[in-house]
Amino acid sequence: MQGPWDAIVIGAGAAGLMCAITAGRHGRRVLLLDHANKVGKKILMSGGGRCNFTNTGTTPANYLSANPHYCKSALARYAPQDFIDLVDRHRIAWHEKELGQLFCDDSSKQIVRMLLDECEAAGVRVETGCPIEEVRHHGDHFRLHTAQGPCAAPALVVATGGLSIPSMGASGFGYTLARQFGHEVLPTRAGLVPLTLSGKHHERLQDLAGVALPVEARCNGARFSNQLLVTHRGVSGPAILQISSYWQPGDDLRLDLLPGRDVLAWLQAQQRERPAAELKTVLGEVMPRRFAQRLCEIWLPSRPLRQYPDAELRPVAALLQAWPLIASGSEGYRTAEVTLGGVDTDQLSSSTMMSRRVEGLYFIGEVVDVTGWLGGYNFQWAWASGHAAGLAL
């Protein structure tokens, strides 16, 4: 891997590939290294094999970070439309699924192919199956010892991603490097992840595995309206994945089980129109019947509606709109889509992603403490932060 190189990028995922392409296109000699046997494994498995490659509604408000302003500059300089233009230039057909989420019509392999073609056109040297044994900073160069020999460059970009899905090549190497160079790493935890239930909370729902219903999930000031899916170990579905990034054990997590409905007014109308109908019957008409039945076995009394005085109907409505979900934990990094926390943005430049401590050292993508919502936002951050660093190299 003899250079000379202007920059070495560690991690050939979404962020590292975009960074290498951008720098290569601007005449930099770039070496892109990955310990995995192929590039972009998470891109390949993303979006159910169709890669939700961006979200047209991306704004900084769609990201969690100790510094919510950090992502603004990079996102402003590389917009969803910039990536769409790239996809269009490569004639990859795509469609919007919902809520601004763009997917390939065919396969996420097309996105990886496109990025590799761009690397080739930009003169980027890509080396896979290349574990990095040591990184040193001598004088004005970073010197790496790798399984494929030594290499050196005046700039080093860390794009090693987060901890989710270790079987796909995820490692904590980026955090180790950050600490080695004096950077703080904020505590990490799994995000966009199914939640688990235990004890009686688990017993009450486990036989409903497979039942799905629309809910509004609320926790710590965040709220998401989407589907909930009961699983064998707890709950999942987009509403739960989204809210999981805002939840920690012990936090109050509430579900509106009839989102978008004035439940008290609706129950009062039902009471007037069908006083003999039981609560579980009317609920079973607006949510999965088995779920309504279970609610009425455990949390709500089910009687003919005429037997509810107003003072009893109100708490029924209140519970349906703020049903407490007592989760015990999450499925963890094994199934999480992302890792919250990571390299503290305080010591990074938001315009170039470069370290304020070590000249020439950059951190991009998921390894940084910037985590997007579900729906294409995480790739958009990877593209945008990779692009920002690539321009600065």
The site for ligand FDA (CB under 6 A) is made up of 10-16, 33-36, 41-42, 45-47, 51-52, 131-132, 159-161, 164-165, 169-171, 173, 337-338, 365-366, 376-379, 382
Q: How far is the CB of 210 from ligand FDA (least distance, A)?
A: 21
How many whole angstroms separate alpha carbon 113 and alpha carbon 38? 12
CB of 170 or CB of 292, closer to ligand FDA: 170
CB of 144 or CB of 213, closer to ligand FDA: 144
**Nearest alpha-carbon partner for 128 in 169, 187, 80, 189:** 169
CB of 43 or CB of 392, closer to ligand FDA: 43
Residue 188, C-beta contacts closer than 8 angstroms, at least 6 positions apart? 162, 163, 175, 339, 340, 341, 342
CB of 213 or CB of 340, closer to ligand FDA: 340
How many whole angstroms separate alpha carbon 261 and alpha carbon 259? 5
Positive/negative CA dihedral, 342, 345, 350, 352: negative
**Nearest alpha-carbon partner for 23 in 159, 130, 148:** 159
Region for residue 242 given its phi and psi (left: phi exceeds 0; alpha: psi -120 to 50; beta: otherwise):
alpha
Q: How far is the CB of 304 from ligand FDA (least distance, A)?
A: 47
Tally the residues of the chain. 393
Written as six digits, the tokens of 136 are 């040193």
CB of 80 or CB of 259, closer to ligand FDA: 80
CB of 292 or CB of 370, closer to ligand FDA: 370
Burial pattern 92-101, b for ≥16 Cβ within 10 A else e, equals bebeeeeebb
**256: enclosing H helix or E strand:** strand 253-256
Q: How far is the CB of 380 from ligand FDA (least distance, A)?
A: 7
Q: How far is the CB of 5 from ligand FDA (least distance, A)?
A: 16
Report which residue's Cβ sits closest to ligand FDA.
Answer: 13
Q: How far is the CB of 168 from ligand FDA (least distance, A)?
A: 7
Q: How far is the CB of 367 from ligand FDA (least distance, A)?
A: 6
